[in-house]
Structure 1
Amino acid sequence: MSINKEIEGTHLIKRVALIIYLKSVSDQYKLRRYGDIVYFSKKMKYCMLYVNRREAKEMQRQIASLDFVTYVEISAEDEVNLNSEHIEKQITEMAKAAEEKLQLEQEKNEDQMQ
C-alpha cells in the first residue's frame, strides 16, 4: 500500500517524487526552490525531488524547460504493489526458481564427476 493511500482523509499533503536527470552535477542546488531534494546521485547525474501531488505536472513542465535539465519524470511509486500477499507470492516464486537452478547445477556437477 502506498503512503499516499494511507494518508487519505487526513490533513497531510500528498507528495510525489520527480526524478530529474541533469547535465551537470553542480546543478542540483538550483532545484531547491521547487521542492525537497531527498536523493542525489553524482555518478548517474540525477536527483529525486518531492513536490505536492497537485502541482506535480506543472512542476514537471517547469523543471523540464530549464536549460540544465536533461529529462524529468514522475515517480511510479503508486503503481508498485506493496500488498503483503503479492510480495509473499513473489518471494515464493523467486525461491522456487532458485531451488530449480541449484538442482540443475547439482545434476550438472554430478554428471561431470562421472
Structure 2
Amino acid sequence: MSINQEIENTHLIKRVALIVYLKSVSDQYKLRHYGDIVYFSKKMKYCVLYVNRKEAEEVKKEISQLDFIKHVEISAEENVNLDSKYIESQITTMAKEAEEKLQLEQEKNEDQI
C-alpha cells in the first residue's frame, strides 16, 4: 500500500498545494486569507499555499481573478508514486545507467593511454 493510500484512510483534512505566481513580491501577504503560505520565493515571485482539497478548485478560480496574480496552478504532488517497490526499481535503473556510463568512460580513458 502506498503512502497516498494510507493517508486517504485517515480522518485528517486532505490538503493540496497551490503554486501562486505574483506580479509583486509584497502581495504575498494578501493570500493569507485563502490558506497557509508554506514557502515564498522572493527571486522567482511565487509562493506555495496550502488549502483544503475540496475547496482547491474554487480557491484557485478566486485567486486567479485577483489583479496582483500572474498565474495559479494546483500541485501535481498527488500524481507522484511513492510506492517503495516503484522507488526501488527507479534506483536500480539509475544505478545500472551510472555503471554503464562509468564503464564507457573507463574504456575511453584506456583507449587514450
TM-score under structure 1 length normalisation = 0.91
- Is 2:35 aligned against 1:32? no
> What 5-or-longer segments of structure 2 have no aligned partner?
none
- Is 2:23 aligned against 1:23? yes
- Is 2:79 aligned against 1:79? yes
- Is 2:64 aligned against 1:64? yes
- Is 2:47 aligned against 1:50? no
TM-score under structure 2 length normalisation = 0.92
* 1:24 Cα deviation after fit: 1.4
Aligned-residue RMSD, C-alpha: 1.3
* 1:2 Cα deviation after fit: 4.5
Structure 2 counterpart of 1:92: 92
- Per-residue CA shift, 1:11-34, capped at 9, x if unaligned? 321111001111111111110010
SS of equivalent residue, structure 1 residue 81: coil
Mapped partners of 1:46, 1:2: distance in 2: 28
> What 5-or-longer segments of structure 1 have no aligned partner?
none
Mapped partners of 2:56, 2:50: distance in 1: 9
Q: How many residues align?
A: 112
Mapped partners of 1:2, 1:46: distance in 2: 28
- Per-residue CA shift, 1:43-67, capped at 9, x if unaligned? 2111110001110000000011111
SS of equivalent residue, structure 1 residue 43: coil
Taking only the aligned residue pairs, the percentage that are identical comes to 75
